[in-house]
Amino acid sequence: DIQMTQSPSSVSASVGDRVTITCRASQGIGSWLVWYQQRPGKAPKLLIYAASSLQSGVPSRFSGSGSGTDFTLTIRSLQPEDFATYYCQQANSFPLTFGGGTKVEIK
């Protein structure tokens, strides 16, 4: 199975800050990387697929980049509704696997 490692596990930030989350795959996955946002008590929501393609309806302050084994999710100008946990998921091969999550907390 492909292992997905996210860092940091948590980050404290203020409204308006730029936040970057990293996801590393244990082997190359091309651009087959998906990002989700999960607010407390809610189901995960698809943000980005194919490493950098923004899902319809997702604000443009979210962006993704990377290929191979190293990927990043960037939130430009953090908004109050962005305080949540973010997960990456490899979409290269089954079994599909997820990172451990990064919690974005209010500073």
Partner 1 sequence: QVQLQASGPGLVKPSQTLSLTCTVSGGSISSGGYFWSWIRHLPGKGLEWVGYIFDSGTTSYNPSLKSRITMSVDTSENQFSLKLTSVTAADTAVYYCARLPLSWNEGFDPWGQGTLVTVSS
Chain contacts with partner 1 (rule: CB under 8 A): 32, 34, 36, 42-46, 49-50, 55, 87, 89, 91-92, 94-101
- Minimum gap (Å) between residue 19 Cβ and partner 1: 20
Q: CB–CB of 105/54 below 8 Å? A: no
Nearest distance, CB of residue 47 and partner 1, angstroms: 9
Taking phi over 0 as left and psi of -120 to 50 as alpha, with beta for the rest, 88 belongs to beta
Q: Which is nearer to partner 1, 42 or 107 (CB)?
A: 42
Q: Which CB sits closer to partner 1, 66 or 99?
A: 99
- CA 58 remoteness from chain centre: 13
The span from the CA of 53 to the CA of 91, in Å, is 13
Q: How far is the CB of 12 from partner 1 (least distance, A)?
A: 21
